Amino acid sequence: MRTKADKQADNQGEHYVLNGEKTFISGAGSTDVLLVMARTGGAGPKGVSAFVVDADSAGIEYGKNEHKMGWKAQPTRTISFKDVKVPADNLIGEEGQGFSIAMKGLDGGRINIGICAVGTAQSALEAATNYVQERSQFGSPIASLQSVQFKLADMLTQAIASRQMLYLAADKVDNNDGQASTYCAMAKRLSTDLCFAVANEALQLHGGYGYLNEYPLERHVRDLRVHQILEGTNEIMRVIVSRQLLQDDALSKLR
């Protein structure tokens, strides 16, 4: 992290001056407030602090809206800070607590991304279920084909399994369980992988029509793909889970 917040004082009192740049910021340019992590101390996590910053503050510039594969409804921009004055009272907590504040938000963020994936998969499944009952081949709806029925059964199972795993992780967070972060990592990985597969199969069941903009499936597939990257890639989720699993007596705690 290179964005810095230097504490200064003038006749109006103490404040911080922000300088740096942030990339891939979801919603940038369309919000009233920014939550900014900046370095107030030395290297490492203990040198990071968190600030609430007015999104229209002097010295803030927003880059172009990135042209993304999906998630086009939400802007993604670079944010530049040049001598941006932030009142000292806008520091969240104390200096050096920024990293721990960010980490506390990750569990909820991973559940949120997983639930977004489940909702999109549910929509894709509903579209596919309706379509295969309307689309006829050789005089009968393709829903009568066992191969199609098997696909639908697997898709429904994957969507429900994802949802239930997320409910389990959310329950762990609500009850301050010591293994909550591990369950959130498992739930995020499972739900985003399975739900992308559900949407992809739903597109396949639509045949060539699924590839057209007039049908929602191509957008569902594009939007779902990034869920396997957001809030930590699914490879990182696997690292988190495996590290916990390899600890002493880990299996007895993961129940």
In 10 A of CB 199, how many CB atoms?
31
Evaluate the CA torsion angle 70, 230, 117, 102 in order and state its sign: negative
Residue tagged 């806008």 (tokens): 90
Among the options 21, 66, 201, 231, which is catalytic?
A: 231
Helix axes 146-174, 180-205, angle to 10 degrees: 160
In 10 A of CB 129, how many CB atoms?
15
| 231 included as an active-site residue | yes
What phi and psi, each to the nearest 5 degrees, are found at residue 168? -65, -45
Q: Give the list of residues 6+ apart from residue 105 with CB closer than 8 angstroms, or none.
A: none
What phi and psi, each to the nearest 5 degrees, are found at residue 121? -65, -40
End-to-end CA distance of the chain: 36
- Token pair in block for residue 195: 């739900």
- Dump strand ranges (E) for the chain: 4-10, 13-26, 33-39, 48-54, 60-62, 76-87, 91-92, 136-137, 140-141
Among candidates 242, 99, 244, 229, which has minimal Cα distance to 180? 244
Catalytic residues: 231
